[in-house]
Every structure is written in C-alpha cells, then in structure tokens.
Structure 1
C-alpha cells in the first residue's frame, strides 16, 4: 500500500492542473482497490454543493453536472459528517439519491471518505462496486490514507490553478487568498518578483581530493567574494537603515570568520574533502544545530546559515546569478527570503515581502520591520514558483496574500495603505509622552533587546527601560565562552545606552534546545530538558562569571536587574541567589563600589505559577514569559504548523494563570512585569493593565500602538472588560468580545486597519 501511495502522490505532484491531478487519482485508486468506480466530489463553498469533478467508471458527461448540497445524497452525508461511510447495499440507504447522468443504478456497494485540509472538508473520495461487496478494514484504511495523503495535494493543485485565474470549473475568478504569518505590519499592492534559490547544497556529493591546498584557495576566494557582496549590499541599504540595523549584515560577516563557519569548512577540507562537499557538511551541521533550538530568534539563524552556504556554493560553482527586473511596486517573493535578497532590490521599488518559509524572528523580518516594509512569512501553501509577474495584495497585519485581486479589493487596500501612512505620522507624536490612561494610571512600557542594533530603535519609540535583555544572543556569535572582561564590555554598552532607565538582564538561557556550537547538548525532548537555569546551576563556573560581569558592568550606573530563566521551584531560586550574592561580595572585596542588583524570577512553567507567592516572597520581582508560559500551559508547540492555531495567549487558562501570578506578587509587596508577544499586543495589553501588571516589555515595533491604545482607555474601563472576559470559556469568543468593545469606542481601526476590508 505504501508503494502505491508513493506512486500516486508522485504522479499527482507533477500534474499540470487540478483536473489532471483528479484524473490521476481516480484512475489509480480504482485500479489499486480493484473497484468498478472511483470518483472525486469537491465542495464548492460559493454554491454550497459537492460537485462531481472526476470519475473513472461513471459516464464522463456527468462531470461538472452532478452535484448535491450537504444535506442530500450519500456524498453529502459523508461530507457533512466528515466521516467514512461503508454500505454493502447503498440503494437501500434513505440518503441514496439516483442521478441518471452517471449510470450509477448498477452499483450496489459504496465506500466514501471525506477529504479534509486544515480541518475543512474540501471534498469526498468514493469507490463503488456493481455487485454487493463488503469493503473490509483494509479497503477503508487504504482510502482514508489516500484521502489524508492527497488532501494537501488537491488543495495545492487548486491553489495553483487559482493563481492563473482558474477555479475548480476552469472559469475566471476574482481573487485567491493564501494564509501565512504576519512578519511586519502594513499592507501593499504590487507585482510579484520571484527569487529562486542561488544554489542547491543538498545535491552536492562527497569527493575525496589530494590537492587540498587548491581547494583551500578556491574556498578562500569564494569567502572573499561573498564578503564583498555583503559589504556592497550593506552599503546599498545605508540610506534606509541606521548603523545599528546595518549591524545585522555584520552577523553574516562574523559567520564567515575563521572562528566560525569558515574555520569549520577549512578543517573539513584539510581532512581530504573537496571544498563544495566540506561546505555542504558544515552548513548542514550548523543548520541542524540552530533548527533544534527553542528560542525563536536563534532558531531563525538557520536560514542565515543556509543563505550564506548557497552564496558560497554559487561562487565555488561559478554559477550564473539570476537576472531579475524589478518593476515599480515590487513585492519580493521567495521560498526563504534573506537580507541579502532584500538589499538587491532598488529601495524606491520595494513595497512588500513574502516568504514561504521563515518566521517573525528571521533577520529579513527584523529588517523589514525596521524599514517599514509589509511582510508575510510562513505562507506554506503558496505555490510561489507560479507567482512571477502576478498582481498581489499583501496584508502584513493578518498574514494574507491575495492573487489577482478584484477592483473592489484593490480599492479597499489602497485606502488602508493611505490610512496607515496617516496613523504612523500620528503615532510618532507619542514618543515623548508617558503611557498613562485617561484616569491617570501610568504603566511603564519596556522593550526586549538582544543586539546593540535594538537600542536606538527602542529609544526612538519611547521605551522606558529594558524588560528583557537576552544575554545568550552575544554568546551565539563566538567560538568559545566570552571571558569576564568581554562580557563586561557587552553588558556595559546596554546599561550605558539606557541609563538611567532600568535594564533587566536575563542570565544565559541555553540548553538542549539552544546549544552553543562550543557547548553541544543533544536531547530527545529539549523543551522539557536541560535548559536555562538548570544548565547554569550545574555549571556554576559559567554562571558566576556571567553574573560577576553583569554586576561589574553596572558600577556607577546601578540600573541593573538580573532575571533567572526557567525557574521551576524555590530551591533553584535560592541556589542562584547564593551564587549571585557570592559574586557581589567578591567584587566589593576587590574594591569595586557597586550596588547589589535586584534579582527576579521568570514565570514560564506551570509549577512556577502554583508557587508564585513563595517565589515572590524570596525574589525581588517576578517577570512572566508569556510565550513559554502559554506554550507549556496549553501543551502546544507554537512553531508546529499542525497545532499552532491552538496557541492562544487569550485562552481562559492563560488569563487565569496571569491573574494568579499578579495577585501572588502583590500580596508579597513585589512588582510583576510581563514580556513576550502578549505584552506587545495592544488588545491583550488592555487586559494586562486591568490585571495590575506593573510594566509591559515588548518588541519596540509594537510599543507605539500599545501606548496609543492605553492612553485612550481608563483603568476602570479596562477592568470592566476583564471582568466580562473572565466569564467566557473559549478563546474565540474572548477575541470577538474584545474587538467588539474596541469597535464601540472607535479604537479598533488603528489597531486593525484592514478589519473593514470585505474578503
């Protein structure tokens, strides 16, 4: 069966269009099951009917003519119930319906199973037999498996046809919509320009060579060529990016240093592997290491490594670069966009970016947000290779991409783009104003940082401090653990940049899911493994050097707080506090006049929620990590496309946990902050305000809108909304309730500019 499934899937994947794909399916399934008939009925939402779109065994003239609503016929029964149906005598069933066009009165037995894609029934796959046949479990299993295997193929084939303006019936349609993930806010209208991968590392073979010195020279030449390319691209973007943001290109250059990727490739070449094979081996190892990391930002570095590898390979192969013409209003589309691709487009022509892979934490998404370019990522169902030259609308608020938009849709989004421009101008005026509600309640808005490039952007958007400095980011760019003096310099830069505002530095958060290249850790379940404080307490020599460096860097500034990640119990907090106290005493004994920093606990796991009061009694403050806490409470990997829609920080369980944490902290007279995506969501921030959080920490991009909305609210109104929301037991209703409340106040348009667009 597996071999047959593989053969059918391969044939369908190369079909030129949807009708061709369906023809292959019915023919092959009929043969595989030794049945008299195999048919596919597709559900057409605009008609609310299941329409016969392909058959092998029934009369061909019935295709496109036979249809039924969900409440009629056996096919309608299978589709409406989304369940497999097996009948030995189909004609005796009360839902049986006779269609003269098909000649199906001769077929007694029926086996039908729904074709489901993303929880939606897209069609029904049916086999029929002339004589009575008791379809057995093996028959059912094969058809169900075939349906599951082909649901995505059918959806993809249909989407591909839609891009060229052809629907299920081969007729012209107004537009097709593809769903991705918002990468950078905004909307854009333009023409797609597809960028194909530069070179394919996966097909490079191993090859033993004797001329090692020649291979080293070839690789050195490729390195220098790529370095020059990156410097030129950085220079081209110099008028659009601040120096701190252009530093992201320095990350590329750093990866090419002898202490990083380049050195590893040279070592493999010296063992007798040719340059291209060594490059493939090293890039693969680095990519795997990054892809197994839990931290979103660090995991996305895998795409940077792949892009560098392709560029180096193209120079080694002396491959011809793709020659592209960029029209006005270019929307750049690729399987996996990179900063270098972005830099090759004339800045006055680029209006949007679409990436089939990647996430909000990719370098290209970070640059896009800094440059104000609307971006959609993770558009996994988008047949991007068919898009070149097609007119697109890109919605970076919701993650939607529209092909062949209608005149009405173009007009609506043109209005959104103009409104966006006016709103951005108005938000800039809030930069120097505090985040204060209409009734005088102040809620400090802090930012999350990790790179020096984040500093100026945060300050220009009115940040009142740093709620989370990810110290591990600096560790990722070295080939060894940084020395104490090197760490002091890194931390001092951050502390001085924000002084006298507070800076909260999280201690090293690495582990089986986020290994360092020089400290590898392999685990079968890294999410629940050796990570965060568990690693650093097991290695006090690493932890003590880091906290010494943090405290020493704060001398004369005294704006440092230290935050401990992945705390799951009181004993871990007490052990960490002892090491921090010892480090502080050592420094004071060395004659360094520095205050003891406040020590906080990250509330990220359920056990910390239940022990929040005990932790608050010992710690100086609490800080909720909303991303991990939501993930652990709901048992959902938000980076897994199959379950990502279940990840929702407005889930009632998450809201209850947050209220408990705030109550626990305040009962002990301690402050509590929250960082992560939830804090940067203006609508969620209204609830966090009502719960009593003492500060919110977010990506600086989100700060202006959060401030704008909270300055339009009263604390009392926010508390009334919270009282209403906590009585609701489903996330969807919570979302709709909050949006309706903001609509009544006339506030939702700024937060959701495309909410009025009819699609």
Structure 2
C-alpha cells in the first residue's frame, strides 16, 4: 500500500479505481502547404467551430453549475476572438507556408509563455488558457475530440484539471479527483465543492496509477494506492458514517434555523440560473440571497430585451412562491465579458470597468434591467442589490435612476411591488463607510470572496499565494463585524453571500456577530442549518 498526503478541498470518502486523466496532447507535425488562403480559411473554420463548442458548453454548464463556474468557457471563446492571436496564426501560415495545426500550436505555445512571464497575476492565469484554446482548435482541425465520459465510476487523477474540463465530466461517473497542481481557491476547487465531489490537490500524481484501486479521504487529505484490507474496512466505515450524516441532514428539512439559545437567522441560497431554483427548493432554502443575473447577458450576440429579462425574473419569483428573491444587478467585467458591450481590454480588469460602474456609465442598459425587475416584483418578493459599491455618491446616483424607472412605469400604468434596495459590501471602501451607506439602503450583503481578495491584495486563484491567503484573517472578520454593527445602527439588515457564509467553522462566530442572513450554495443549506442549531448566538 502507498500513502500520500495532499490538501483537501472537499470532504468525503471515495473508494474505486483510478483513471489517470492525461490531457490529449495533439501531436502536430510541420507540413509545407502551397495554398495559404485555403489554409487560413481552414483555420478560421476550425476557430469558429471551436467558439460554437464553447458557447454550447457554456449554456450547458450554466444549467449544471451556475454562471460563475461556467464563465471559463466564455473566457476561452473571447480569447479565440483575440486579434493578436489570430493575426499571429495567419502570419505564420502566409510567411512560412505551414499547416494550420502547426501555426496554431506554435502561437498557443508562444502566447502561453508570454503570459506566464508577465508580472500581472491576471495575465499569468491566462497562460494555461492560451494552451487550452490552441489545443481545442487543433482537435477540431485533426478531428480528435477529448472524451469526457467513462464506462464506470472512477477516481480521476491528473496533473491538473482546467475548469473547462471539470465542468464537462460526467458527474455520475466521478467518485473524486486528485491532482498534482491547483489552488484551493481556484474556480476548479469551487466547482468541486459545488458538485459535492471529494477532491485533493498537491498530490504527486503519476500515470502509473492508472487502473489501480485507491481511496480518497477528503477529511484528512490522504490518498491511498492499493490499500490493504484493514484500511479498506476502516474507510468503508468512515464513508458509511458520512452517508449516515447526510441522511440525518435530510431530517432537518422543515426545521428552523435557530441556535441553541433561541437566535433565529435566515438561510438562503446562491443561484446562477433558473435551473438552480429546483435545487434550492429541494434543499429547503428559505429564499434566494443571490441571483446572479449575468447569465441572462452572457453567451449571446445581443443585449437581452426587457421582456426576456422580465420572463426570467417572473418565473423565479413565481417558483419561489412568496419566498424572498434577491437579484444582483448586472456584474459584467473582469473575466466576464460580452462582446456586444464593446468593452476595451484593461491591464487590471479586476480593478477596472465592471459591475455598477458599467451600469452607471450606460444607464439605458441599467434602466432596462431595473424595469424588468420591478415589473416582475408583482409576482413575488423581489429585492435588488447592487455590486461593487465604493461610495455614497454611487448609491445616490442609483437612487435617482430607480426613481426615474418607477416614474416611467407609473406613467405607462405598469404595476410593481415594494422592492427592497440593498448593496453588496465587497470592497474595503464600502466596509469602512458602511455607517453612512446603511442609512441609504434596506440591507447589506457581504461578498466575502472579493472582500477577502481586495483586503489582502491577493488573487484568490493564484496557487502560489495559498500559504498567504487566509479567509479567516482578523482583518476580514473585523470588517464583517464592523459592517454588521454599522448596518444595524443605520437600520439595515446584514447578510453574507460569499463562500465564507458556508464555512461551518465560522457559523457560530457569525451568529455572535449578529449576522441576519447567510446565503450559500443549495447543497450547503442543510449542513449550515445543522451548524446553526448546534451553536450559541451569545458568547459565554
């Protein structure tokens, strides 16, 4: 028996055979061609087919795992439209008279190396993406497609897994995954937790393990190869204990989210699409604390109309049958792009033209969404929250636009309901002036993912920073406490909708801080409810 220790990114026990998942590297040979125009057209046809594949994958992934986790496909489609990349391929074909496969492979390698050597962490992260998109085009050119389905359930072992690969895996056939590289805060890690798949990173994976029996212990971060009978027996008992715990959680359906000393808290769900609503209801969510509206805008060629948006918001509100639905307004920007908005490339998009900054700069887009939301508010309990707020002036400008929208609806004789107004606290600036902001809105929702990233000045997807990245940092917890206190003093209720809200090691801390609501992925509703019911809201 061999035993290895890695870093666990999702708890659970998996027992089964290993499938070593090697990337299907296309062997590309350099060939001389005569008709360069025909070869360029061949490349363009393959590029367009690749973009069609990515758009289709995005649509499927949004339904399975939500817009945020599906965004990787949109990023790849955007990169395949990059003029510099395509000009390089065209130029190689024309000047060197080489085949499209070779030109795409060399360009992908060159761009990947160039990004890897940049100081900016965002562009460093694009290095692997450049390799990924060139491989996709080459696969189309050669007719060799990667197989993401398996005959039997397996433990996937790999050097690394791109989010684009993880999303396509047949969830029913994946027991767990184990990788050599990766970050605990990467999109892939978040996706694994969303899909409830036990996972380990930083394990010295080798192709020799393919076909061997193995055990993943996501509780201790241990990986066993060819386990002995005693270990198998122990792990089977541990797995059965996990399954029993899940069964017990089902008994919490219909129970209150109330602490041992009688403190109640709202427990809502984060969703990214209409398809997620069923999971919210199945897991007994009390409402929707974050509806990411971006998915309506992404993966299409034109702006969604007011009627299209209204139909989505109305359906969600009706399906939730009177339970609260908090819709986050358009949060486009950074690595979530839509071509039809014509946004320029930025050196540091995470700190750039995104979210509310786009809405306030392009008020007609903003007003269309607000009209759709207000019209849908007749069909349920809808609230609105605005992302990436940094100042009082931004909120004042939002309020003026909301007033205009309501006046227009009144003039048109269109009814609407009472709509709570809230803002996301995800920048240190908003947290620091939360005492002033609280007097202007009905509620705060703390986005801990970005709040942590901006407070610590660390890219949460950069695996080199794992040893420094600490979501439990005192600065983060103090900011949350400050926001809760300022919110309540100003008459606003306060929720948490970031990943930290599902961290059950902090549930009691949040109760003692006075947090009013936690919004988590649907699969975490019952585990968090269990933690609430075992906690004390008052300090001893």
TM-score normalized by structure 1? 0.58
Look up the match of 1:177: 5
Q: Distance in 1 between matches of 2:238 and 2:16?
A: 14
Equivalent residue number for residue 38 of structure 2: 211
Structure 1 segment 660-739 matched on structure 2, within 5 A: 660-716=482-538, 719-720=539-540
Residue 525 (structure 1) aligns with: 348
- Residue 374 of structure 1 is matched in structure 2 by 198
* Aligned-partner Cα distance in 1 for 2:219–2:493: 33
In the TM superposition, 1:267-666 aligns within 5 A as 276=101, 310=135, 313-319=138-144, 330-334=154-158, 335-336=160-161, 347=172, 350-355=174-179, 356-357=181-182, 362=187, 366=191, 369-370=194-195, 372-376=196-200, 379-380=201-202, 382-397=204-219, 400-403=222-225, 405=227, 409-518=231-340, 519-554=342-377, 556-666=378-488
Q: Which residue of 1 aligns with 2:12?
A: 186
**Distance in 2, Cα, partners of 1:416 & 1:622:** 40
Match of 2:64 in 1: 245
| Deviation sequence 1:626-656 (CA, Å, 0-9, x none) | 1222222233322222222333332222222
Higher Cα radius of gyration? 1
SS of the aligned residue for 2:245 comes to: helix
Shift of residue 521, structure 1, vs aligned partner? 3.4
Distance across 1 between alignment mates of 2:300 and 2:106? 20
Q: Helix, strand or coil for the counterpart of 2:416?
A: coil
Report how many residues are paired. Answer: 520
Once the 2 structures are TM-superposed, how far is the Cα of residue 436 of structure 1 from its aligned partner? 1.8
Q: Distance in 2 between matches of 1:714 and 1:701?
A: 23
- Shift, 1:687, TM fit: 0.9
Question: 2:289 is paired with a residue of what secondary structure?
Answer: strand
SS of aligned partner of 1:708: helix
In structure 1, stretches of 5+ residues that fail to align are 1-164, 166-173, 235-240, 721-759
Shift in Å at residue 345 of structure 1?
6.8
Q: Deviations over 1:185-227 (max 9, x none)?
A: 4211233211222244999999873336973897499779979
Q: Describe the superposition over 1:590-629 as per-residue Cα deviations: whole angstroms up to 9, x where unpaired.
A: 1111025221121122222221111001111111111222
Aligned counterparts of 1:188 and 1:605: Cα–Cα separation in 2 = 39
Query: Do the aligned partners of residues 674 and 374 (structure 1) sit closer, same or farther apart at CA in structure 2, a change above 3 Å counting?
Result: same
SS, match of residue 646 in structure 1:
coil
Question: 1:522: how far off?
Answer: 2.7
Q: Quick one: distance in 2 between partners of 1:494 and 1:359?
A: 32
**Structure 2 vs 1, CA of residues 216 and 496 (structure 1 numbering), >3 Å: closer, same or farther?**
farther
TM-score, normalising length: structure 2:
0.79
Label 1:193 to 1:434 Cα distance change in 2 as closer, same or farther (>3 A): same
Q: RMSD in angstroms over aligned alpha carbons?
A: 4.7
Structure 2 distance, partners of 1:709, 1:245, is: 27
1:89-126 CA-partner distances (Å, limit 9, x unpaired): xxxxxxxxxxxxxxxxxxxxxxxxxxxxxxxxxxxxxx
